[in-house]
Structure 1
């Protein structure tokens, strides 16, 4: 069983928002305090795209194919997770936390794993593949404790 010791950081993230919480008590009765929050303004892809998708010649007479336009909305989501990994590295390097629990949507968790520095990865005691960013802190406490009790 993985335990939420006092001082453990819990990062709850999705692709546009991250909550940074610290456990003020122990595992039996966790009391998570939100001490930082990051949010990305990420309009829909349609709002970010400049033009309609381009077309290119297929080589045959009169044949043209549409090109996929860059999905700026998805790129911004991936960039947010990469930026989060960098912030965690900065905080770990400064010695601000010893233990870390990451609660994130599976997609964000995947990007974080790829981007995370070894110094941060060594401090991760648990990963919870859930999207809890819009849940109240009391519910996050219960859900994270339940997930950790199951491991």
Structure 2
């Protein structure tokens, strides 16, 4: 059974928001305090795209094919996960935390895993693949405690 020790960090993230929480008491009854809050302004793709999807000729014939435009909204989500991984690395190098629990929406958790530096991934003691950014901190405490107990 893994416990959320005093000083352990919990990252709660989705593709646009992140809470960096620290356990300020023991692992039996965690009490998470917000240490940092990050948000990304990521408007819908239609507001970020500059023009219509492109088209190209299919050779000597008169046929033309459409080319998908870049999904700027999706790229911003992936970039946010990469930025979070970079912040976690900076914090680990400064010694801000020794243990880390990642709580993120499934697609964000996948992007985070790909981007984590070894120094950060070595500190991960648990993962919860759920979007909890809209939940009360007391609910997050319960879910993290249960997941580590049964994980």
TM norm structure 2: 0.98
What's 2:20 paired with? 20
Structure-to-structure mapping, 1:37-76, within 5 angstroms: 37-76=37-76
What's 1:126 paired with? 126
SS of the equivalent of 2:95 reads: coil
Gaps of 5+ in 1: none
SS of the equivalent of 2:110 reads: helix
Shift of 1:2: 1.2
Distance 1:56 1:98 in 2: 53
What's 1:4 paired with? 4
What's 1:77 paired with? 77
SS of the equivalent of 1:103 reads: strand
Shift of 1:60: 4.4
Root-mean-square deviation (Å): 0.8
Aligned residues: 151
Q: Which runs of at least 4 in structure 1 moved beyond 4 Å after TM superposition?
A: none
TM norm structure 1: 0.98
Gaps of 5+ in 2: none
